[in-house]
Chain A
């Protein structure tokens, strides 16, 4: 299994500001994903981070709000832009090494917007 380091683990931010979350993996992985888990809810996929190209966003999520970078096979960032209290959630990075293996998760970033 991959070891995933996600930073920060938590943050409290002012509305209107932006926060960048980092995801570092200890080995090269094919797939990297960003999920959102709203309070008391399940996980929803935001986007697939593609190495060297634009991320693939799910319905309801847009690049202007959640810009994603993936400069190499071990690192990705998710930015939550122009935050509002509705963005208060846990954001999780997930990786998979090949198409047919299970996904592993980082410990998540708990974001509170005030």
Chain B
């Protein structure tokens, strides 16, 4: 079974600085999807960025980028020019490809609570 591990329960960053959140996963599959979700106090889960395992190029969305190391099964999130609105819980998630009727379910890590200091 696949597992997702986030080893940093809490992180803190100064406004305008850069922070990296770590995520590792375990799988025997060669094709899969990885995601970072943000959950602010409002509870709304917001997709930050996604990465397809077959793509070697790291995904980027504005100030958010990932460092995807497939061989190491590592998927870290870098937030540049941190803003107060980035403060939230961040979850790393894994999803299998849809082969043989597998569901589109997500397997989540335990989350990293990010604080942004003004």
Contact = CB atoms under 8 A, between A and B. Distances in A.
A108 B109 CA distance: 18
Interface in A25-58: 31, 33, 41-45, 48, 56, 58
B43 interface: yes
Contacts of B103: 31, 33, 48, 56
A105 B97 CA distance: 20
Interface stretch (B18-26, B44-52, B69-77): B44-52
B110 A105 contact: no
Nearest to A1: B47
Interface in A79-107: 90, 92, 94, 96, 99-100, 102-107
Which of B50, B91, B104 has the most chain A CB within a 10 Å cutoff?
B104
B91 A42 contact: yes
Is chain A's binding surface mostly helix, strand, loop or mixed? Answer: strand
Contact of A99 (B45, B104, B106): B104
A44 to B, nearest CB: 8
Given A105-B44, A107-B44, A108-B43, A42 B104 contact: no
Nearest to B44: A107
B43 A110 contact: yes
Contact of B98 (A42, A58, A100): A100
B61 to A, nearest CB: 12
A52 B44 CA distance: 28
A38 B109 CA distance: 14
A105 B45 contact: yes
Contact of B104 (A44, A58, A92, A96): A96
B108 A42 contact: yes
Contacts of B108: 42-44
Nearest to B102: A99
Most chain A C-beta atoms within 10 Å of own C-beta, residue among B35, B43, B97, B111 = B43
Interface string B69-107: 000000000000000000000010001011000011110
| Top 10 closest pairs, chain A to chain B, by CB | A105-B45, A99-B98, A108-B43, A42-B108, A43-B108, A42-B110, A31-B104, A45-B105, A107-B44, A96-B104
